[in-house]
Structure 1
Amino acid sequence: MKVFAMNRMLLGSVWLATMLVTAGCSLAPTYEKPDVSAPQAFKEEKVSAPLSPAEAGNWKTAEPSEDFTRGEWWRVFNDTTLNHLESQAQDANQNLVAAAARLKEARALNQSARSALFPTVDAGFGPTRQRVSPASQFQSDSGQGASQTLWRAQTGISYEFDMFGRVANTVDAADAETQRSEALFHSVLLALQADVAQNYFALRELDAEIEVYNHAIELREQALKLVQQQYALGDISELDVARAESELATARSDAMTVQRLRATSEHSLAVLLGKTPAEFSMAANPLQPVNLRIPAGLPSSLLERRPDIAAAERSMAAANARIGVTKAAFFPSLTLTGTAGFESGSLSNLFKWSSRTFLLGPLAGTALDLPIFDGGLRKGNLAKARAEYEEDVANYRQQVLVAFREVEDNLSDLRVLEDQTRTQSQAVEASGRAEKVARAQYTEGDVIYLSVIDAERTALQSRRAAVQLQGAQAAATVNLIRALGGGWGNAKPATSQAITQR
């Protein structure tokens, strides 16, 4: 008997030691943020001096961007109207409200997951009426079973002993998902800020186009009066009058097309501000050239600035933690339960010391559950978790590639647009001179009216193209800041000097 008792004590000690050793042991793979290849410099960026190897680097470990301070980058445009619109959008845009609600949902789910780290405690009070069957009391079928009423007031406690890190890995996954939601919120916010700026500059570009057409209409009205006078004097035929009238009507029609586009753009901006189109209108204000220089910095810094890259990285971390959750399902789980309180046949005696009662362990089932056979369910769940992690790694690497491409696209746009705008300015100046010469020669009778029409059309197209290039330059500047992840709060407005990040 003594040997048996000693063996039982030894087994109990071994079991207890095993429980203590395995408590909180995580089965999730060690998570390491993937390395991605980053070029030493952006191909399309003009740099005055090459970067040193220490500044450039070749490989960069991804870092979540939520600790990066993002400022009001749109203030670099030094436009009070744009500043006001951005403020309105952040206060009332419904997509941003929805993103904030999703972030709240993620934080609530995180709180629910963390609750498993602590015991659950509940309390109850109430009577139970029970009638015992005669057969259970070894009585005949004609016997009367005893009836009784039991009053109970008790407290219950339950706690899962986290032997193999199932709970801890679930919490880690929830933490990563919350951080992912925070990054996605910042991504929506950045997209909203950029959309407001783009729509604003598009609206002002259309105002500039309308101004170009209004100037062209004035010139063509003057030309029509001149042609009508010459026709009344018999110097020209009615054909020139008809051509002048046609050109004037075409210019007016094209101006109406631009006005229609402006109305649509204004309605889109109203929705971004959280307003109905009827509640919003903006006075005409032709676009002025935007000549900001935004340095792209090191390509590797994209991994720290862009919230969408941070979201993809956090998604990987969550998937890695879920691998540990599925692995823990292969091992035993231990749940400690117990109840304590009072139990009595009458309410008056319920809280007497003699009515106390307790129960350690579950009413049904066992405290320690050991999985034996499930037809491959756990194996399938583990394979699924690993595949999801591999998918998230691929998505992350693809997101990084897309980020590099977007920056290069906008850098090349700005580089080419700078030269193209300069060349187009020369075209505007030359076409304007040609237009004046053609009118003068027509007045003197040296050329036919078709020459005037061709010169006017060329001048109008050149002026409109110049305005559209200015709009494209403003949009590309906004797109570059967006591709870089924003974060220009400390930059100062400038027109020709580079804006440096601090």
Structure 2
Amino acid sequence: MAARAPNDETGRTDQMAKSARRAARSLAALAVVTGLSACTVGPDYQRPEAPISTQFKELKGWKQAQPRDGMEKGRWWAIFRDSQLDALASQVEVTNQNVAAELAAYEQTKALVRESQASLFPGVSATWSGQRSGEGKALTGVGRTVASGVSYPQGTVSWTLDVWGKVRRQIESNEATAQADLALLENAKLSAQAQLAIAYFNLRTQDMLRALLSRTIAAYQETLRITRNQYNSGTVSQADLITAETQVLTTQAQFEAAAITRAQYEHAIAALIGRPPADLTIKAGALPHTPPAAPAALPSTLLERRPDVASAERTMQAQNALVGVAIAAYYPQITFSASGGFQGANVFPLTAAHLIWSIGGQATDPLFDGGLRAAQTDAAQAAYRQAVANYRQTVLTAFQEVEDQLSALRLLARELKIQEQARDRAAEAVKVYLNQYRAGTVAFTTVVVAQATLLADEEAVLSTRQALFNATVYLIQYLGGGFDASELLAEQPPPLTEAVARSLPVPPQ
């Protein structure tokens, strides 16, 4: 008996496998017959209309983007032609932790898609159990072994048919949700890159402000030297000397305050690229005179280039599919099951008498649920209407934001020209009054007022240039950067998946 055990075990396993295959074929045949009448209940998705204007109100004078004029995909900031900005912004998609969090959310919803797809297939399980007993002398090992109550492996197949499309609607919803999360991932990346560009241009503005204040301090110190000489010669009062000293000290304090603000922008940039502030030092630099013209998109293409709009649209489809899931609950749930194996005591050799099997079907249809299914359907339909409203509001907000930046760029350009003229006139006034002061024909207060006016005008010019750069960044962001909604339908993972994953800690095993 012991010598034949391996062969007997193999024979039992083969017999069990044949039995399970026969049961599975019978189950599949029943499934095919039932599946011939399968359908998918619930509304098929169609994108609702959105409030789209035919043109941008503020687009006059703008050149429409041609295919070759589009921003470089994935590197929209390249139009500024700043190597330092390029090096910093390129790190956002690799180490920014908000982007990493959105990536994890996207991977989670992709896993939910696979989870729901698994419900389309039958479940197969195996059960192993058995018992053997014997008697004999424990010390000598002499005795005999008796098999009793032996139970062999049993296989079970269960399949809930998706006759009414409930599972397929759930898959559709999960796939649309995954695409919405992918759009949110792209939106997080675009937002972080835009924040970095804004912080970078603000930092450069502080660099230029410090340079301006340094030149102003030097000019005020020269004025102080003239005033001190005149005070020593008795031609001006002590009040003029104190005023000149105060002017220098106040400007020096502004110089230090600008250093504080610059440091904060540098720290913000470090956080956006996922690095401690101590690890990043940016050398002083300057802004170009004006930013380059950003290509504008047609109103109709805005819906395909804004990741937040694409996410809202995908959310609509997800909610629409869930309406079908709720409606499918009104229909019976049909389940087929089959099992097979061998069972018995002292069954060597195996015979047909030891074979056990069963196959059957079950339909479950709740007759009364207290209005549960009706409430679930109403809730699903309300959630879809909410998604539609959110989508339309997102579209309206998108057009508002683009119009805001187009108008800001147009008006800021005009404002800059006027401010530059005022600054130039103020500089001429300082020269005239300072010469008259040396000659003793005007009071020192006249010089102080003129110098303060010049500094204010120079700061206003710098502030407007800063606003122009920021408005350009915002416009590119609100136009969607280099995003293309058609990428949401691709099966490939986003290009930044591997890079961001490498920046995350390995979970404990």
**TM-score strictly above 0.5:** yes
Unmatched tracts of structure 1, length 5 or more? 1-14, 56-67, 130-147, 490-502
User: Quick check: 1:47 aligned with 2:61?
Assistant: yes
Q: 2:113 aligns with which of 110, 114, 137?
A: 110
- 1:79 pairs, out of 74, 79, 82, with 82
Q: Which residue of 2 aligns with 1:101?
A: 104
Aligned residue in 2 for 1:153 = 153
Contact 1:209 1:464 in 2 (8 A): yes
Instruction: Sort the Cα spacing of 1:232 and 1:69 in 2 relative to 1 into closer, same or farther, 3 A.
Output: closer
Return the alpha-carbon distance in structure 1 between the equivalents of residues 306 and 33 of structure 2. Answer: 45
Are 1:414 and 1:476, in contact at CA under 8 Å, matched by a contact in 2? yes
Which residue of structure 2 lines up, in the alignment, with residue 223 of structure 1?
223
Aligned pair 1:26/2:77, yes or no? no
**CA contact under 8 A between 2:343 and 2:355: conserved in structure 1?**
yes
Identity %: 35
Q: Secondary structure of the equivalent of 2:284?
A: coil
2:260 is the alignment partner of 1:245 = no
Q: How many pairs does the alignment contain?
A: 437
Change (3 A) 1:351 1:234: farther
**CA shift at 1:448, angstroms?**
0.6
Separation in 1, partners of 2:32, 2:63: 64
Match of 1:492 in 2: none
Is this contact kept in 2: 1:157–1:338, CA < 8 A?
Answer: yes
Match of 1:91 among 84, 91, 94: 94
Shift, 1:401, TM fit: 0.1
- Which residue, out of 28, 31, 36, partners 2:50? 36
3-state secondary structure, aligned to 1:46: coil
2:208 corresponding residue in structure 1: 208
Amino acid at match of 2:383: E
Against the structure 1 CA distance between its residues 89 and 69, is the aligned structure 2 distance closer, same or farther, given a 3 Å change threshold?
A: closer
User: Equivalent residue of 2:46, what SS?
Assistant: coil
1:350, 1:390 → 2: CA distance?
A: 67
1:311 is matched with: 311
Q: Give 1:193's aligned residue.
A: 193
1:121-160 → structure 2 map (5 Å cutoff): 121-127=124-130, 149-160=149-160
Out of 420, 429, 438, the position equivalent to 2:424 is 429
Deviations 1:312-345 (A, max 9, x none): 0111101111111111111101011111222233
Counterpart of 2:460 in structure 1 is 465
Give me the TM-score of the superposition, normalised by structure 1.
0.83
Which residue of 1 is the match for residue 169 of structure 2? Answer: 169
CA 1:488–1:94 in 2, change beyond 3 Å: closer, same or farther?
closer
Summarize the Cα distance change of 1:128–1:333 in structure 2 as closer, same or farther, 3 Å threshold.
Answer: farther
Match of residue 180 from structure 2? 180
Residue pairs, 1:482-493, within 5 angstroms: 482-487=477-482
Post-superposition CA distance 1:421-445 (Å, at most 9, x none): 1111111111111111111110010
After TM superposition, the runs of 4+ consecutive aligned structure 1 residues lying more than 6 A away are: 15-18, 48-51
Q: CA deviation at 1:247?
A: 0.7
Residue 46 of structure 1 deviates from its aligned partner by 1.9
Q: Do 1:72 and 1:488's aligned partners in 2 also have CA atoms closer than 8 Å?
A: no
**Deviates further, 387-396 or 40-49:** 40-49
TM-superposed deviation, 1:163: 1.3
Give me the whole-angstrom Cα distance separating, in 1, the residues matched to 2:118 and 2:225.
84
* Contact 1:122–1:157 (Cα < 8 Å) also in 2: yes
C-alpha distance in 1 between matches for 2:445 and 2:417: 29
Counterpart Cα distance in 1 of 2:318 and 2:267 = 40
Partner Cα separation in structure 1 for residue 385 and residue 90 of structure 2 = 40
Distance change >3 Å, CA 326–CA 128, structure 1 → 2: farther
| Alpha-carbon separation, structure 2, partners of 1:236 and 1:209 | 32
CA contact 2:44–2:321 (8 Å) conserved in 1: no
How much has 1:287 moved relative to structure 2? Answer: 1.8
Report the equivalent of 1:135.
none
TM, length-normalised to structure 2: 0.82
**Cross-structure match for 1:406:** 401
Quote the residue 2:334 is aligned against: 334
1:154 counterpart SS class? strand
Going from structure 1 to structure 2, the CA distance change for 1:279 and 1:49 (only over 3 Å counts) comes to closer
Q: Is the 8 A contact 1:152 1:350 kept in 2?
A: no
What RMSD, in angstroms, separates the aligned Cα atoms of the two structures?
2.5
